[in-house]
Amino acid sequence: MSNNKYWQNFGELNQTEAYKDAAEKEFKEDLLPIEELSKEGLTLGKTPRRDFLKYLGFSTAAATIAASCEMPVRKSIPFLQKPDNVIPGVSNYYASTYVNGGDAISVIVKQRDGRPIKIEGNDLSSITKGGTNAQAQASVLDLYDTTRLRHPLQKSGNDFKEVSSFDAFDAMIANAMGSMGNKPVVLLTSTITSPSTLQIINNFLAKHPGSQHVQYDEVSYSGMMMANEACYGKKAIPDYRFDNAKTIVSLGADFLGTWLSPVEFSKQYASNRKITGEKPTLSRHFHFESMLSLTGSNADDRYTHKPSETGAIALALLAKLGGAVSAPSIADAHLKAGINKAAEELMKSKGASMVVCGSNDVNVQVVVNAINEIIGANGTTINWSVTNNTRKGSDAEMAKLITDINAGQIGALLVYGCNPVYSTADGKKLGEAIAKLPVSISMNGTLDETTEQCKFVMPAHHWLESWGDAEIKTGQYSFIQPLINPLFKTRAFQSSLMKWSGGAVATTTTAAKDSTGKAVAKVEGADYDAFFKNYWTSKLGSADLFDKALQDGVAETAYTLATATFNGGGIAASASKLASAKSGAIEVVLYQKIAMGTGTQANNPWLQELPDPISKVTWDNYAMVSPELAKTLVGLDVMTNQRQADSYEVTPEKPVIKITANGKSIELPVLILPGLNNSTIAVALGYGRASADEKLSLERIGRSATGAGKNAYPLVGFDGSSFTYNSVATAEKTNNTYPLAQTQVHGSSESRPVIYETNLSSFLANPEAVLEEPNHEKVILLAEGKTDFVKEGTIYPDFEKPGIKWGMSIDLNTCTGCSACVVACTAENNVSVVGKIQVQKAHEMHWLRIDRYFTGDVKNPDVVFQPMMCQHCDNAPCENVCPVAATNHSSEGLNQMTYNRCIGTRYCANNCPFKVRRFNWLDFTGSDSFKDNQQPLRGSELDEVVFQMNDDLTRMVLNPDVTVRSRGVIEKCSFCVQRLQENKLEAKKQQDPSLVRDVKTACMQACPTNAISFGNVNDKQSMVSKARADKHRNFYVLEQLHVLPNVSYLAKIRNTDRHIGVIEEHESGAEHKATEKHKQNHG
């Protein structure tokens, strides 16, 4: 279906005046950071001729003086004793593991001259197989976070004072814990996957009788674990195998974005979404949800429902599949048809089907378990031979702990890796109670909401400074090794515990037995570093094996699939509880954004400025509602009323509503998106970080996190056994507005077709059809008798690429929109963070953006993601218009950008049909010759975050091989030319051209689904050549313009019965009509 209509917002859908106007004017003058020219002419303007001459004179004189000053004397200081493995200017790569709460991803860290500067996936991990996500990519910046604590602290009044030494700190702790009486000690941590740490914790608990270890997940999976305990006798999470599933039904589980182990699942999921061979097959993915999630956007068929209906849908599915439950009535016929269809497909592929559910309600999960039992998922797609250890938190335990703390029944509270004062519903109260406890110690790295309430703070290392391990799944270990000496006076969390449990550890407690049952002999060590080494040397058997494990980053044992015995006893009880689920006219659902997650990395500018793939909003959370609900809530009709759509979409100011649920309210701006259930308001967690005293937020929480969104955790409920993330709510309009910085339609293709898509059955029937239209357009452009579009479709000569010709291919079928590539690109290429004010003015600098397009039914559209970066056109429109030849073409097919030649006319950006060129409107990097020229713009044009990024500490993250751009120059994707050059150099040194096949751009490396292939097009064996061999799907965006892009895309194929882009009515007759139309199109 090549004639689909794709749209990015309502303005584009309706082709409103304001939309057309905005698309035409790429650089909106009223938004520019320059003084307005008055209409009366130069002499009367704010900058009259005389001033102009003054400025001219001054700048000439200043430039002369600046340039003729003596050259500075630079020092070149070598090592005193050079380590063998460090060659200045050559990067080293070490395996490690990104750990954030329970999340653990095996990674390779690029270390340049002793500094970690880039995270990449570890191919040796059987779990993530080289994939990463946005958070892991961005975490290297957290190492250089200016809010990190630099030494141990002790509370003094409302402030903290430095503790001079670790010994003094330990003495204070011993003293304090000795005098607190008989009250229990509680260690509150995030989920701990590290077996060596668990052993240390057990020792600590043994030293303090009556003490307890509580693991707490900020977004909980407790309901699921309880259900598994009831059904399978294991309070654990099984190993999901999306790669074995032919039919996947998700009930609100965002497994490609934020649910459980998204990188692993994306990899598995994508393996069944690749089009290969003559008769390709695809897995089929049904998605039922209330809001529009990343996973939902990728589904073949997607249905929306009220949040409270999740249980009903699970029951209906179970009933349809033959379960002994009575099906609840479902009013929505479309939804009902969807459930029936899903049930049918699940049974069709019995034994290769799975149902996953994002609910934290134990009853829903019990029903889902029952479904999985019927469709044969147990032991095939849901594997019980190993468990997923990344979430272990028990909500009941946590709730009890909160009650105990509030009642003052705890003697000492030790906090590590979690922030309950921020992330629990009654955080403020909890914080006050913690402050009153006899002993409270935090081992978090920053003065976050919980830490600032504690009496003692012993900051732990960042993971890039630590030793450690993670047992991600049973028997699947991933190792952490330090990439840099601790930057500050911090101490490993484990070392602190060892000190406080009496020094060296020598033990054979239960945890000493690893999960495979092998007993670990006595392990000793003065601190965690030594302990860790001894532990693993003994466990793995030898020092060599330990070294190998560190080198690989993983030590894994093969496992087979296994079932667990199912006990369906609780189904009836659960079903009856679900039948009485409370529902309301408006319900709120709390979700996580792929960038912000639970909010632990909220002070990471890269993540804050990453546009959410669905809403394209940066720097904030918001109340996401459907157009229908917006009509009733704030009186805006964006679907049919063009003026209202314009006034809503053109200005960043959005109306604010007040949402009340569970007795708490928050005020949030409204963001109208299609594809949401009409009763649902979706709000992201992880925003609104703030100190108890908000004046201290900038300093303690950080310059990025402060002011970004509102905290939605207060809306989390508790149903007596687990936390609930959806509830009945009320919402009312306020008179306020709030600006949202949205990057959507900043780069508009002006409604030219850029995406081609069809469904699987049409594709199988006629694979030529999907690209019929663009191919036809190419033919019309050619003069009669000519056949070669590339050479003969233009008046320009054809330039040869004698050696290498770089090219990229992006598979729209497997791109999930997860945005890991965007952060990877930012990290690799020193892309500036511009701050919210500048994003509102369309001045964001991302070299790679992910365009999100809607198509089809406005109420429940299909969503397509298209990564868009410089297409490196061989016949590039930008190159012809540059007056100073700052952008030109290389013999390897690269569209080169030379910053020091660029004079900033921006003609190139104007002439680029893909809108991928970025202009440095302001000095975002502080790299101009005059040091203080950022200061006058502070607050009005430049956000605090720009200054955070320019801090000497933060700048340590910069990639030294990439120029830091200054004001007034254009920049854009370079195909990671520094990597290409490095790779070619290596190939030349080794005298082996086949090494060029190893080169990976940053985006390609980061991609968890291998959607991006890159390489030498002249080499038929390269990845990109192989990807482009798929002639039926391979297309170039706007190829008919004869710009000859070097980036190609593979058309998207959905495994659905619907025809993509055709609006169907929700009756059975519509199917027929659509087919008719389809036939006409090809008739």
CB-based contact 854:865 (threshold 8 Å): no
Task: Tell me if 964 contacts another protein by CB under 8 A.
Answer: yes
Q: Nearest CA to 121 among 679, 737, 818?
A: 818
Give the span between the Cα atoms of 1081 and 1054, in whole angstroms.
Answer: 19
By CB atoms closer than 10 A (0-12, 13-18, 19+), residue 331 is: exposed
At 561, the amino acid letter reads: L
Binding residues with another protein: total (CB under 8 A): 52
* Packed helices 310-320 and 333-348: angle between N→C axes, nearest 10 degrees: 50
Among 254, 289, 471, 892, indicate the residue that binds another protein (CB under 8 A). Answer: 892
**Looking at beta carbons only, is 126 or 888 nearer to another protein?**
888
Residue 971 C-beta: closest distance to another protein, Å = 10
Residue 977 C-beta: closest distance to another protein, Å = 5
**Helix residue ranges, H only, 427-516:** 427-436, 493-500
Residue 836 C-beta: closest distance to another protein, Å = 29
**Looking at beta carbons only, is 233 or 803 nearer to another protein?**
803
Copy the structure tokens of residue 887: 């952008």
CA 8 to chain centre: 21
**Looking at beta carbons only, is 318 or 804 nearer to another protein?**
804
Among 58, 981, 998, 1082, indicate the residue that binds another protein (CB under 8 A). Answer: 981
DSSP state letters, 250-314: EES--TTTTSS-HHHHHHHHHHTS---SSS----EEEEEESS--HHHHH-SEEEE--GGGHHHHH
Among 991, 1069, 1079, 1080, indicate the residue that binds another protein (CB under 8 A). Answer: 991
Site for another protein in 831-890 (CB under 8 A): 888, 890
Site for another protein in 539-568 (CB under 8 A): none
Q: Nearest CA to 668 among 647, 648, 688?
A: 688
Residue 792 C-beta: closest distance to another protein, Å = 20
**Looking at beta carbons only, is 77 or 558 nearer to another protein?**
77
Give the span between the Cα atoms of 401 and 420, in whole angstroms.
Answer: 11
Q: What mask of x and - would describe binding to another protein in positions 943 to 962, judged by CB under 8 A?
A: ------------------xx
Give the span between the Cα atoms of 740 and 88, in whole angstroms.
Answer: 44
Three-state secondary structure call for residue 368:
helix
Site for another protein in 1008-1027 (CB under 8 A): 1016, 1018-1019
Task: Tell me if 114 contacts another protein by CB under 8 A.
Answer: no
**Looking at beta carbons only, is 610 or 996 nearer to another protein?**
996
Residue 978 C-beta: closest distance to another protein, Å = 6
Residue 149 C-beta: closest distance to another protein, Å = 24
Residue 88 C-beta: closest distance to another protein, Å = 5
Q: What mask of x and - would describe binding to another protein in positions 32 to 71, judged by CB under 8 A?
A: -----------------------------------xx--x
Q: Which stretch binds another protein (CB under 8 A): 294-302, 492-500, 858-866, 985-993?
A: 985-993
Half-sphere CA count of 855, side-chain side, radius 13 A:
27
Residue 838 C-beta: closest distance to another protein, Å = 24
Give the span between the Cα atoms of 452 and 3, in whole angstroms.
Answer: 58
Site for another protein in 65-104 (CB under 8 A): 67-68, 71, 73-82, 87-90
**Looking at beta carbons only, is 161 or 791 nearer to another protein?**
791
**Looking at beta carbons only, is 896 or 1081 nearer to another protein?**
896
Q: Which stretch binds another protein (CB under 8 A): 217-225, 298-306, 992-1000, 1056-1064?
A: 992-1000
- Please list, residue by residue across 366-395, b when 16 or more beta carbons sit within 10 angstroms of its beta carbon and e when fewer do: bbbbbbbbbbbbbbbbbbbbbbbbbbbbbb
CB-based contacts of 172: which residues, under 8 Å, 6+ apart? 154, 163, 456
Residue 637 C-beta: closest distance to another protein, Å = 49
The enclosing H or E element of 174 equals helix 166-178
**Looking at beta carbons only, is 399 or 964 nearer to another protein?**
964
User: Looking at the chain, how many residues does it have?
Assistant: 1083
CB-based contacts of 863: which residues, under 8 Å, 6+ apart? 292, 296, 297, 298, 614, 675, 817, 852, 853, 854
Among 938, 988, 1026, 1077, indicate the residue that binds another protein (CB under 8 A). Answer: 988
User: Within a 10 A sphere around the Cβ of 900, how many other Cβ atoms?
Assistant: 9
Task: Tell me if 1082 contacts another protein by CB under 8 A.
Answer: no
Q: What mask of x and - would describe binding to another protein in positions 788 to 817, judged by CB under 8 A?
A: ------------x-xxx-------------
Tracing tokens 């992330």 back to the chain, one arrives at 423
DSSP state letters, 634-657: H---TTT-HHHHHHHHHSSEEEEE
Residue 85 C-beta: closest distance to another protein, Å = 11
Task: Tell me if 901 contacts another protein by CB under 8 A.
Answer: yes
**Helix residue ranges, H only, 272-426:** 294-298, 310-320, 333-348, 362-374, 395-406, 420-423
Task: Tell me if 156 contacts another protein by CB under 8 A.
Answer: no
Residue 849 C-beta: closest distance to another protein, Å = 21
At 396, the amino acid letter reads: A
Among 898, 1034, 1075, 1081, indicate the residue that binds another protein (CB under 8 A). Answer: 898
Binding site for another protein (CB under 8 A): 67-68, 71, 73-82, 87-90, 800, 802-804, 888, 890-892, 894, 896-901, 961-964, 974, 977-978, 981, 984-985, 987-989, 991-993, 996, 1016, 1018-1019
